[in-house]
Amino acid sequence: MQEMFLGGSETSSTSIEWALAELIRNPETMMKAKKEISSVVGSNKKFEESDIDKLSYLQAVIKETLRLHPPLPFLIPRRATQDTNFMGYLIPKNTQVFVNVWAIGRDEQYWEEPLVFKPERFLGSKIDYKGQHFEFLPFGAGRRICPGLPLGQRVMHFMLGSLLHEFDWELEFSANPNTIDMTEVIGSVMRKREPLKVAFLSYKSDERTVRILNVTISFVDILGAKTLKRKGLNSWIKTKAKTYYWPFVLLIVSEKDLYGSEQFLD
């Protein structure tokens, strides 16, 4: 159970980090996503799971993120159950097989401008990640497709939609978005080599903010911690976080991930 929980959490948070990085590098795309969310959800309502199916552009953003940055670039290893001839190659029985979905998602034979982040390519397209389109397999396919797909896709859409709905995002100190280091590092999942450091520029003083803030802390070095402290919300955010979500945050955040963590989180 622990492996399933941690595995699902890391793949989802990593995908959201990549999505935010790509959106910050492409401000017009971010504005389209935020405008769609605002028109469907409304400015005075919280983002709900029931809104996801109405947000075609947000769905396209998630698909494009998974195409360029699949959390498991080689999926889970497979094993040949018998001697197999494939495209002129002999694959002996019991050979361990890795599927390079990272390369497939960037193959110019199947994708126009494959290195460009362009969610519009999925609008009006039937291509999906449920294992029926072999040019797009972030969750695998067949009997061994990721069992967490139904939950994972809802979590990713809900997390990203909530973050875009509740906050405006920019790089710390108004840095140039083109300077974001997009270098990939492969570990248990494919993460950014340099963690994304961003500032959120607006907030609402209610418990929803704590929930969204803590999701963000799991993968982003938040400049907003200073903003909250400066505005006199230090004791409020600590009390709410400890009451509702703090045990989970402590599992996935180290002190060095927070600005002024020793003073902010005593």
Nearest-5° Cα angle at 139, 136 to 144: 120
d(CA 143, CA 131): 10
User: Please, are residues 156 and 16 in contact by the beta-carbon 8 Å criterion?
Assistant: yes
Closest to 20 measured CA to CA, from 232, 145, 182: 182
User: Please, are residues 191 and 184 in contact by the beta-carbon 8 Å criterion?
Assistant: yes
Answer yes or no: is 156 a known binding residue. Answer: no
Closest to 65 measured CA to CA, from 124, 11, 125: 11
User: Please, are residues 144 and 76 in contact by the beta-carbon 8 Å criterion?
Assistant: yes
User: Please, are residues 104 and 110 in contact by the beta-carbon 8 Å criterion?
Assistant: yes
Binding site, by residue number, is 146
Binding site for heme, by residue number, is 146
